[in-house]
Amino acid sequence: MQTLQKLFLPNMGCGTWAWGNQLLWGYDESMDDQLQSVFNLCVNNGVTLFDTGDSYGTGRLNGRSELLLGRFNREYVGSNQENICIATKLAAYPWRWTRQSMVRACQSSAQRLGRNVDLVQMHWSTANYAPWQEGRLLDGLADVYEQGLVKGVGLSNYGPKRLKQVQKKFAQRGVPITTLQVQYSLLSTYPVTQLQLKDVCDELGIKLIAYSPLALGLLTGKYSVGGSLPKGIRGLLFKQILPGVRSLLTCLQEVAESRNRTISQVAINWCICKGTIPIPGAKSVEQARENIGALGWKLDASEITELDRAAANVDKKMVQNIFQTK
């Protein structure tokens, strides 16, 4: 079985399809050409890991994220085409409770993408609320690998205890876990500082993927107390968190100015310096170009220490994913 390990190179430390769910907020078909341009720009600049999920899109948009990604992949012509790595996450829906349901789900994702999935991941663990369901779903995830439908398998929102249990279970079948995906940013250090997931991943030879590295946009510098905020729940969340993160944003701004970079580029680069693969979102060419600007350089040790200290002193951090296990 071909391994995915060689695909995860340093210049791939910035994916763009984590926004598979975000692009569907206010989405309409007129955005397709713009999103194709985002995809093209990323691949042409060596950003070739794209992460999506089969739950990104419901109702009339059912499976829309995977459908779009598959189309963009087919229509792309240019450099790095052979390095494109498509990852998807299979949801632990309550009606998925057999191992065969996971195999069918992976086959459906491949059909929407128009190609085999490179990396398939369990979107979340059911251990916290339906432990009886998870064993069968994990068996199905391993089946997908054994049947040669994917090059690698990964997990998402798993803590160290559950990760070790699953890794042991998979090792008995000769199925390696390639990646673990968790919410990680300067406003969400919990998986690494408290759960110590990076140490466990390093021990087990697993790559750690950081989703929401810009904390839904809080770490872009675009929002401030008293300023214009997004609508809905996101805006309410920002209103609660922003007053307590001003010192962190100030630190990010100082580092960004000294580096002639943007705040978001520094925040993404911090994730890379921590040995993770950040996957920020991008709906426009401008956002994609800014994300790409986080690559090709590294913060120095003193800058990382300053940012670590500022992150540790914020009054209120991001809400953790409710599916994150211990």
Write out the catalytic residue numbers.
56
User: Are the beta carbons of 286 and 16 closer than 8 angstroms?
Assistant: no
What gap in Å lies between CA 116 and CA 222, rounded to an integer?
38
Smallest CA-to-CA distance from 159 within 196, 116, 184, 122 is with: 196
Smallest CA-to-CA distance from 56 within 120, 142, 123 is with: 123
C-alpha dihedral sign at 24, 28, 32, 34: negative
What gap in Å lies between CA 267 and CA 215, rounded to an integer?
10
Residue 111: other Cβ atoms inside 10 A: 13
What gap in Å lies between CA 90 and CA 103, rounded to an integer?
10
